[in-house]
Amino acid sequence: MVTDPLLARQVLADHACFSMVGEGGVGHMWAQFFGEEMAQFFGGARHTEVRTKARDLFTEDGARGLATLLAIAGTETGASGTSRTVALLHDTGQQHALLADPGLMDNAVREGLRMSTPAPVIGRHVARDATVGGRRLRAGERVLLLTYLATTRVGPFDIGRDYVPETRQLWFGGGRHLCLGAAVARVQIARMLQNLLSQGRPYRIVARRAATRVLVPTYASLQVRLVP
């Protein structure tokens, strides 16, 4: 298990030694559902081929397909990040600081994602022997990156916090498998917060219910009301 953000990024960036295939998570699930051909999209020669041909997406027709893919990829992350950031701003009272200084919006979005960490655990299969943090890992073993612990170790939710280079955007993964919808999710969260606070009034949460049996932690319901 890895809880250090720098070591986690090392694992995510080393595609020769660590693979999504066989890690017991998303890559493994898709490979089980659709077979070896699908597994190649997550690692190996097929993945390299697809990345090499990615420029073909930027035709007129390809751009529409790419936009659809990005929207889908960012939906779950954006929905989770939005509701949980709204709750964090309310529960910590920091919505008032954001109302007073809209320039803190980027910080609020980043801190909301850092604390909510849409991908709280990321798995990798050890494809070949490697050393991480002084520990020797053997091919065939699995590594769990506890991203929630890695990203929240710097402290509690604080929209006054500057960018933390150690964590970067680890909540979206890293390396060539960085979440495709990352940018979309950030924009979704920012726009929703801007709309919520557009009248210059604080809000209060009147009811909330956590979602269960979901891949990305979120609220099943979060009801807010503007304060008169």
Q: What is the pLDDT of residues 140-166, one digit of tens each?
A: 999 999 999 999 999 999 999 999 999
Is pLDDT at 133 greater than 90 in this prediction?
Answer: yes
**CATH code of the domain made up of 5-201:** 1.10.630.10
Question: Of 145, 143, 141, 142, nearest to 120 (Cα)?
Answer: 145
Q: Which token pair is 183? A: 């940018």
Each residue's pLDDT tens digit, 67-100: 655 555 556 677 888 999 999 999 999 999 999 9
CA distances 181 to 110, 118, 200, Å, are 15, 12, 30
Pairing state between β 130-132 and 203-210 = unpaired
Each residue's pLDDT tens digit, 15-67: 889 987 665 555 555 555 555 555 555 555 555 555 555 545 555 555 555 56
Question: Of 228, 223, 218, 227, nearest to 206 (Cα)?
Answer: 223
Specify the higher pLDDT residue, 188 or 107.
107
CA distances 101 to 5, 178, 194, Å, are 30, 31, 12
Residue 198 banded pLDDT, cuts 50, 70, 90: very high
Question: Of 118, 96, 47, 81, nearest to 192 (Cα)?
Answer: 81
Q: Where are the alpha helices (DSSP H) in 94-226?
A: 95-100, 105-116, 147-152, 182-196
Cα–Cα distance, 217 to 210 (Å, whole number): 8
- Tell me what the mean pLDDT of segment 164-171 comes to: 90
Q: What is the pTM of this model?
A: 0.80
Is residue 110 within 8 A of residue 98, CB to CB? The reply is no
